[in-house]
Chain A
C-alpha cells in the first residue's frame, strides 16, 4: 500500500504548510475523517493520474482508431427537421399531414399511456408505454404490476430504442451455400407450410425447437398443440443467464419445484448468498428494490443487510456488511451458517439434520469466523423477521440451504412465501442444450427451429454451438436482428418487437399481463405466437389467440379490455403454497470449497454473469445502454476482467491494462479492472460483449465494425457454467484501447483534486444508525466551517407560486442507473461513443457518482445521483454573456438553446459540472457515418422516431443540462389551469423520479406544505451539496445511514 501524503490546502491551513506523512493505510470509517476515493488510479496516485491532473482538458485517446468514416461507431440520429432554409425570405415550408380518419377521442400531438409488459428470462415486468401520434417514445413502470410497482430498470427504459434500431432486421433472409438472399414473409410462409406439412407426415421426426424461456400462457398452449402435432419433436429451453440452481434447489428442499416470493420490508436482517437482488436477472428485482428501500429508513425499524458474494453487486453497495468469498465457497459459508444457526435456534427435528460445521481454511480466518458468528446471532435474534436469499447462479445445495434457513428461522409466511412453480418445465435446461448440441453433431437433426434468443453466441463456448447450428438440414431462426445465429441458419425470420406484438406473460408471482402493441410491426415482423400458429396452419391473429387463452378469466370484451387497460389480470397470481421442508443431505464440499482465499494462477475461479446493462448481449446494440456507465465500475462501451486488487497484484495484472484470461484452453484478451471488495482468486467476466453480428453499435464483422468488449461466452463450459475453475489470468502486451470510464474525468487540477479529496466526506455524508439516533442532524457536523453565507438581495428573493425542488435519498439509491437512461429517453440526449466518453464529453444529464470508502479489500460503496442542482444563486447564470440561462420565477434554471452561442463559461463556472456541451452534431449524424448506413438511409430516419417531441433536439455548439423535466412541469401546469384545478403533489413526476424502482428521488412543489419534497427538505438528514458556496441549490440529499452490527463494528 503506497503511502499518501495529505497536505492541508495553503489557504485553509492559514499559511503554514503541514505535511502529515502517513505510512498507514487510509483512515478507517469512524475515526476522524474517512477517506473517499473513486478509482485505483486515484488511490494509488499513479503517475498517469498525476499527469491527468496536470492536463486541463482530457486528451483524445490515441489508442482508438481515428474518426475515419469507415471506423466510426457513433450512433447518428437523423434530425426530424426538414433541412436548411430555402430560397426566399420565409424559411422552408413545413407541411401538415393530418390523419384522414381520426379515431374518436384521439388528440394528435398529445401523448397517451398504454399498459404492456416486457418479458425477460421468463419473467414479465409490467410497463406503461407512452405513445405519441401512434408510436412509443418512452417506457415507465406500471404501478399496478407486482414486479414493477411503478419502477423500471435501465433495460426497460432503453428497450424503446430497440423498436427503431436501424440495425433491426427488416425482412426474412434465406441462406444456402454461403450466399444470402433477401426474401419475404410470403415466400417464407410458403416454404414453412410445405416443410412443416411434410414434417407432419413424419410426426416431426428430426425436428428440434430451441426457444427462450417464456411464461406466456398463449405460447404454452401453442407449444402443447405443436408437440401434439409433431410428437417426435423435442422442445428445449435455453436462457444464458438463468441457472438450474433455483429450481433444483427447491426440488431438493421441498420435493417439488417452488418459487420463493420475498418480502424484504418485513425483515430486520437480510442475508444474501451471491444474490444481487437489484440485478435484472433476479426475478422481481424492481419490487425488491422498492421493498428494501422502504425498510432502510433510519426513522423506522431499519433493516440490516449482510452480503456474502464474490462480485461487488448493487446489493453489496447497500449492504451493511459484506463478506467477499469466491462463488464456489459460498456453499461452505452456507453450510457453516446452517450449522451455527441450527445450534442457536435449535430447530424442530422435522426440519432435518443441520449441516456439520465444515473444516475449512476459509472459516478458520478470524474475520470470517467473527462475521459468521455475529451473522448467526443476528439472524436467530430476529427469527421471523429475517430473510436468507440465494442467488440464481448458485448451485442447488445453496438454494436448498437458504430454504432450510428460512424455515429454521421461522421466516416462512412472513418475509418469504412460496408458490408452486408450475412453469418449472419452462426453465432453462443445460442438459437439454447439451443433448441438442450432441444431436446436431451426430446429424440427427433435420429441422432446427430457434425461437428468439441467440444460441450461436450465447451457448457455452465448450459446446461450439455456432459450428453446430448449420449442421441441421434446415434451420430457422426468428429474431429481431440478423445476428450470429441467423447468419448460420438457412432461414432468418424477422421478429416483431414486444412493443409491436400481442401476447401475454406472467410475473414471478404468476400475475398475468396482456402484452399489447404500441405500433404495428414496422418491418412486418411476427412474434413467436404468430410463427407457431403459422406452423400449425392456424390463421388466427395473435390478438384472437391471446383472447382465446384467457377466455375463462376474461369471458367478455369488457373484461378483456379492462385487463389490457390495467396491465394485469386481477387475481391471476399463483395460489399460495406451504411446502414442507425435507431433510437435507450433507453438502458436498470439495477441497477447493474448503480451501482458503488464496489460489495459484491456473487454479483461479472465473465467474460469468450477465452485464447489468446489456444483459446477456441481446441489448448490446442499444447505444443508450453501451453509453450508460456500469453502476459499479463506471465502465462504458466495454467489459473488463474484474479482479481483486490483491489477486491482480500477485498475477501482475495491472489496473486498466490488457490481460488474458484462460479457461480450459480457451483464451480471451481484454482489459482488467481492479474492483475493491472483490473476492480474491476470482475473475469475473461480464457476458454480452464481443458480439460479431449485433449491429453498427455493438459490433458487426461483415461491415468491419469492431466488437464492443470481449466475448466471455467463449470461455464458458457446461460444468463451470456460472463459475469455472482452473482459470488463469496474465498480463498481456496486447494493444487494446484503454477503458472509457466516467470516474476520473472530472478531476480538474492538482489543487482542485486535493480540495475534492478534502471535501469528499462533505459531499457524501454518512453515519451509522447509532450516530444518527444520537445526533439526527449529523449532516451538519460533517460540514467544514465556512464564513456566513450572505445574500446580495435584501430582502432575499421570495418564490410565491410554485417553488420546484427535489430530494434524493442516498439511503434508498442502489445505483442501478435507471434514472440516467430514463432521462436520456425523455430528453433526447444523444450518444457520443467511446472516444468522446474518454474525453469527458458524455452527454448524460444525470450522472451517478460512486464513491469507495475504506480499504480496497472490502471497500464500502455509496452512490450519489447528481442532476442539475437548479441553484437559486446559480454560478452559471451569472456568467452567460448572452443570457441563455435564466432563472425562472419558479426557481428553475432555464436553458434556452437557441440563445446559446457556445461560450461554455457556464459549464466552467458550475461547481457540480452538470452541464453538457454538444461538441458535435451528435443528433444529426455529423460523426459516426459509416458506409454501411448512409445518412439518407431511411432506417436512420426511423431512428428519429424515438425522439420526444416535447423537448428540443439540440444541435452542435449548444449547452444543455437537466431541466427538472420542465416539459412535464409546463404540460401539467397548462392542463391544470385549463380545467381550473390545482396541481396535487405527485402529479408532476420527473423522468428520473418515475423510473427509480427504489423511490429515491422525490420532486415537487416546496411551497406545498404537504408535499413529499417539502418534508424531505425539512428532514434532519437533508443537506445541500456544496452548500457552502452560497448557491442555494434546490436539490437536497438525505445523508446515508448504515446499520452495522455493533459486534462487527
Chain B
C-alpha cells in the first residue's frame, strides 16, 4: 500500500490552505447567521398583490385610520383584512370604472374573495394577538413601519422571536398612549425622551409583557 504524499508544489499553498480551512467555518457561520436571519430574509418582503391597493394614498393622503379597515384589531388576535364590502363602501361611488379596481368589483359581484398575499407571515406555531398589543399602547408603526408611506406594503421589521423578546423585555422603548396607536407620526409630547415616557406609561397602565414560552407558543 502506498502512502499518499502531497506533491511538492503543495508546499507553496500551505498558508493559503490553512487560511481557507480556518476561515471556512467562520465564513459559513457568518453567511448563515446573517444570510438566513429574518433581518435578511424577511425585511423588505414585498409581494405583489392582486389589487394595487396603495396605503400611501388611502392611509397617508386621505387619512383613513388603520382601524377603518382592520377593524378587529382591538378585539381579536387577527387584524383582519377587510372584506370586499369595505372597499365598496367608497368605491361603489368613487372611481367606479377604474381598471385597478376590476378585481374588487368582480369579487363584489361573484362573491369570491380577493386573494391577498400575506406580508407579515409568522410561522404556524406562533400565536400573535393584536388586541393584546394595540389596546396597551403599542403603535401600528412600531411593527409595521410607515405603512402610510407605502405604495405596496412591505415588511419593515424582521418579526423574529428575538426581535419580539427585545420589546417584551424592555417595552418602554415602544410604548405610547393607547389612543395614539394609529398615529404614524406620534412622538412623546414636549420633546420628552421616548424611553422615559414609555417608562411612565408602563407604570401607569400596569404593563408586564410576559416572556413565558406559552405566551406565543401553544
Contacts and interface: CB of A to CB of B under 8 A. Distances in A.
B84 A98 contact: yes
Contacts of A99: 83, 113
A970 B124 CA distance: 17
A108 B72 contact: yes
B121 A94 contact: yes
Interface in B175-218: 210, 212-215, 217-218
Contact of A98 (B41, B83, B108, B111): B83
Main secondary structure of the interface of B (DSSP, over half): loop
A95 B116 contact: yes
Interface in A873-904: 886, 888-890, 892, 894, 896-898
Interface stretch (A85-93, A608-616, A707-715, A1001-1009): A85-93
Interface string A955-984: 000000001001100100010011000000
A101 B109 CA distance: 11
Given A894-B217, A951-B218, A97 B113 contact: yes
Given A886-B213, A970-B214, A107 B41 contact: no
A93 B118 contact: yes
B76 A109 contact: yes
A96 interface: yes
Contacts of B99: none
B131 A952 contact: no
Contacts of A176: none
Given A95-B117, A974-B132, A963 B214 contact: yes
A892 B210 CA distance: 13
A194 interface: no
Contacts of B111: 100-101
Contact of B213 (A100, A108, A896, A977): A896
A231 B81 CA distance: 58
B83 A101 contact: yes
Interface in B37-69: 40-42, 45, 47
Given A107-B72, A108-B78, A898-B123, A94 B84 contact: no
B125 A93 contact: no
Given A102-B85, A889-B210, A90 B45 contact: yes
B75 interface: yes
A89 B41 contact: yes
Nearest to B124: A81
A102 B83 contact: yes
Contacts of A974: 77, 129, 131-132
A98 to B, nearest CB: 5
Nearest to A97: B113
Interface string A579-599: 000000000000000000000
A100 to B, nearest CB: 4
A967 B77 contact: no
Contact of A978 (B45, B132, B217): B132
Interface residues of B, number: 44
A96 B153 CA distance: 14
Q: Which of B41, B114, B125, B215 has the most CB atoms of chain A within a 10 A radius of its CB? A: B125
B135 interface: yes
B151 interface: no
B19 to A, nearest CB: 29
Size range of the interface on A? 35 or more
Nearest to B85: A101
B112 interface: yes
Contacts of B129: 970, 974
B20 interface: no
Contact of B77 (A89, A101, A109): A109
A888 B82 contact: no
Given A108-B80, A888-B212, A978-B131, A898 B117 contact: no
B116 A96 contact: yes
Contacts of B117: 93-96
Contacts of B82: 98
A89 B34 CA distance: 12
B112 A100 contact: yes
A446 B131 CA distance: 64
A888 B214 contact: yes
A81 B123 CA distance: 10
B108 A100 contact: yes
Contacts of A108: 72, 76, 78, 80
A18 interface: no
A978 B72 CA distance: 13
B80 A98 contact: yes
Contact of A977 (B72, B76, B118, B132): B132
Contacts of B118: 93-96
B149 interface: no
Nearest to B216: A970
A434 to B, nearest CB: 53
A956 to B, nearest CB: 14
A896 to B, nearest CB: 5
B107 interface: yes
B107 A100 contact: yes
A950 interface: yes
A110 interface: yes
A963 B218 contact: yes
Contacts of A897: 125, 217
Nearest to B112: A100
Contacts of B210: 888-889
Interface string A927-959: 000000000000000000000001111000000
A89 B78 CA distance: 25
Contact of B125 (A98, A102, A952): A952
B215 A98 contact: no
A95 B218 contact: no
Contact of A95 (B74, B83, B115, B217): B115
Interface string B72-107: 101111101111110000000000000000000001
B33 interface: no
Nearest to A101: B85
B163 interface: no
B213 to A, nearest CB: 4
A398 to B, nearest CB: 51
Contacts of B213: 886, 888, 894, 896
Nearest to B208: A801
Contacts of B27: none
Given A93-B117, A889-B210, A952 B72 contact: no
B113 A966 contact: no
Nearest to A893: B214
B127 interface: yes
Contact of B127 (A91, A93, A886, A950): A950
Interface string B115-158: 11110010111010101100110000000000000000000000
A100 B85 contact: yes
Interface string A558-600: 0000000000000000000000000000000000000000000
Nearest to A892: B214
A963 B123 CA distance: 20
Interface in A50-98: 81, 89-91, 93-98
A892 B111 CA distance: 45
A978 B135 CA distance: 6
Contacts of A886: 212-213
11 contacts: A95-B118, A97-B114, A98-B80, A100-B114, A101-B85, A107-B75, A108-B72, A108-B76, A109-B77, A894-B217, A896-B217
Interface of A: 81, 89-91, 93-102, 107-110, 886, 888-890, 892, 894, 896-898, 950-953, 963, 966-967, 970, 974, 977-978
Given A100-B108, A894-B212, 20 more contacts: A90-B42, A93-B118, A96-B115, A96-B118, A97-B114, A100-B114, A101-B85, A102-B85, A107-B72, A108-B80, A109-B78, A888-B210, A892-B214, A950-B218, A953-B124, A967-B127, A970-B127, A974-B131, A977-B136, A978-B74
Interface of B: 40-42, 45, 47, 72, 74-78, 80-85, 107-108, 111-118, 121, 123-125, 127, 129, 131-132, 135-136, 210, 212-215, 217-218
- The 3 nearest A-B residue pairs measured at CB: A888-B212, A109-B78, A894-B213
